[in-house]
Chains A and B, each alone.
Chain A
Amino acid sequence: MSARKISLTVNGQAVEAEVEARVNLADFVRQAIGLTGTHVGCEHGVCGACTIIVDGRPARACLMLAVQADGAEVETVESLGTPEALSELQQAFRDRHALQCGFCTPGMLMTIEALLRVEASPTREQVRDVLSGNLCRCTGYQAIVDAALDAAKARRGTR
């Protein structure tokens, strides 16, 4: 079918690829680029597991076509930190036991990352509001909200 050449940056690295129009951005980053941190749950925009940041804004990767990301700056969960050097947000998730199976975690992290960039001191209510777009079947959410608030505090202290 109609394949297209696209170029974009993913986590700061330039990427060029040929992609079929119907391939969504979540499948593209997982399969074509091999970044499998972005998870795919529902493929219709409801679960939030695929949340990434596109041009500075949080987005459902399953609801964007890869061809639409031509020229865009894409950030995935892999950009946040490494196992040796976790970001404040990842560290807060670990400290607060904000994950169990971890399936929802990449989307949770990217949503909260996007929030903290525009709102350095969110209220508990604001965190709960943005997390309404991410489903977790394990934790019961409270620890995730706690971790987001901890991370906000830690970032205010260091940046």
Chain B
Amino acid sequence: MKAPPFAYHDPRSRDDLIGLLAELENAKLLAGGQSLVPMLNFRVVAPDHLIDINRIPDLAGIRLSADDVVLGAMTRQCDLQASADLAASAPIIREALAHVGHFQTRSRGTIGGSCCHLDPAAELPALCALFDAEFDVAGPNGARVVKVGDWFKGYLESALEEREYLQSIRLRRWPAGHGYGFSEYARRRGDFAIAGAGALLEFAKDARIRRAAIVVFGVEPAPVRLAEAEQMLVGQTFSETLLAEAAAQASALDAMADVHVSAAYRRRLAGVVTRRALTEAVRLAREAV
């Protein structure tokens, strides 16, 4: 189908954007358009105003500091994928991006769009959860920072207020040599996953796990950290028993069901992808030692 009519605005600065957000009623922001334009074409959304943020020059970019990686909301998925800095400091990101849509959608799709749209199976919000991200948002009433735990409000719902926009996302870096693993299962390459998992591990010199982060996505309406499994792993030397216990926790999540996939199958897959992600993280962490 074709998009319904709307008034189109393309602000050239953040100030102009804030002005439009303050003034316009029933407006939507347009980033990469890879989720919003299908919704317009299907007419599941019908905004009166579309505010295209593609021409605001400083909303994209990748900045690294000793502790953080800051990603501008309008950074394209293909640019994240191509970044050597990102591949060196947080290699799981490149791994995951290979699963975000297709070559042709990644050239327009942005990280900000993905994190505001919040498909339950989206990889990038899941990585934000894994890296304890902070979301830098702004609007007519000023700027604020939202912690990742508060960002996910529910199915396709973020903590953004109606007149706010996402400026950038700050990820906490892990030390060099950390192990990482990413695994998802989709019926076809590029489709949204039925279930997926990411894991980060850091080992101490005595081969005990110093720190662990595990995220499971596509299973509940928003990505979930397996906090209990993470705590269980810390201080231990890795074993098959621990792996099985972590996978069991993923399989105990409150899985969604839809016309294609039952909750039981999703739970089962959640365990499988968690096991695979952790196994890979352990392998890479050991290789790095």
A interface with B by C-beta (< 8 Å): 1-2, 4, 20-22, 24, 27, 43-45, 48, 51, 54, 57-60, 62-65, 67-68, 111, 114-115, 128-130, 132-134
B8 and A21 form a contact (CB under 8 A): yes
Given A1-B5, A68-B52, A133-B101, 18 additional A-B pairs, CB 8 A = A21-B8, A44-B37, A45-B34, A45-B105, A51-B104, A57-B107, A59-B104, A59-B108, A60-B104, A65-B30, A65-B33, A68-B33, A114-B104, A129-B98, A129-B189, A130-B102, A133-B104, A133-B190
CA distance A142 to B143 in the complex (A): 52
Which residues on the A side are within 8 Å of B102 (C-beta)? 48, 130, 132-133
A132 and B38 form a contact (CB under 8 A): no
A45 and B6 form a contact (CB under 8 A): no
Which residues on the B side are within 8 Å of A20 (C-beta)? 5
Within 8 A of A (CB), among B27-75: 30, 33-34, 37-38, 40-42, 50, 52, 54
A-B contact count (CB 8 A): 99
Q: Which of A2, A44, A45, A57 contacts B8 (CB 8 A)?
A: A2
Chain B's interface: helix, strand, loop or mixed, by majority? loop
Which residues on the B side are within 8 Å of A111 (C-beta)? 103-104
B188's nearest neighbour on chain A, judged by CB, is A132
* B111 at the A interface (CB under 8 A): no
A-B pairs with beta carbons under 8 Å apart, 19 shown: A1-B5, A4-B8, A20-B5, A21-B8, A22-B3, A22-B5, A48-B102, A57-B108, A63-B33, A63-B37, A63-B105, A64-B33, A67-B8, A115-B103, A130-B103, A132-B188, A132-B189, A133-B102, A133-B104
CA distance A63 to B7 in the complex (A): 17
CA distance A128 to B190 in the complex (A): 11
Closest chain-A Cβ to B83's Cβ sits at a distance in Å of 15
Which residues on the A side are within 8 Å of B101 (C-beta)? 133
CA distance A130 to B3 in the complex (A): 27
Which residues on the B side are within 8 Å of A62 (C-beta)? 37, 41
A63 and B6 form a contact (CB under 8 A): no
B8 and A65 form a contact (CB under 8 A): yes
Which residues on the A side are within 8 Å of B52 (C-beta)? 65, 67-68
A1 and B7 form a contact (CB under 8 A): yes
* A22-B4, A24-B3, A57-B78 given; A63·B190 CB < 8 A: no
CA distance A67 to B50 in the complex (A): 12
Within 8 A of A (CB), among B91-107: 98, 101-105, 107
Which residues on the A side are within 8 Å of B40 (C-beta)? 22
* B205 at the A interface (CB under 8 A): no
B34 and A60 form a contact (CB under 8 A): yes
B107 and A59 form a contact (CB under 8 A): yes
Which residues on the B side are within 8 Å of A130 (C-beta)? 102-104
Which residues on the B side are within 8 Å of A59 (C-beta)? 104, 107-108
A71's nearest neighbour on chain B, judged by CB, is B55
CA distance A111 to B10 in the complex (A): 28
* B261 at the A interface (CB under 8 A): no
Which residues on the B side are within 8 Å of A63 (C-beta)? 33-34, 37-38, 105, 108
* B260 at the A interface (CB under 8 A): no
* A45-B34, A63-B33, A132-B190 given; A22·B105 CB < 8 A: no
A43 and B1 form a contact (CB under 8 A): yes
B54 and A68 form a contact (CB under 8 A): yes
CA distance A128 to B3 in the complex (A): 32
Which residues on the B side are within 8 Å of A2 (C-beta)? 5-8
B3 and A114 form a contact (CB under 8 A): no
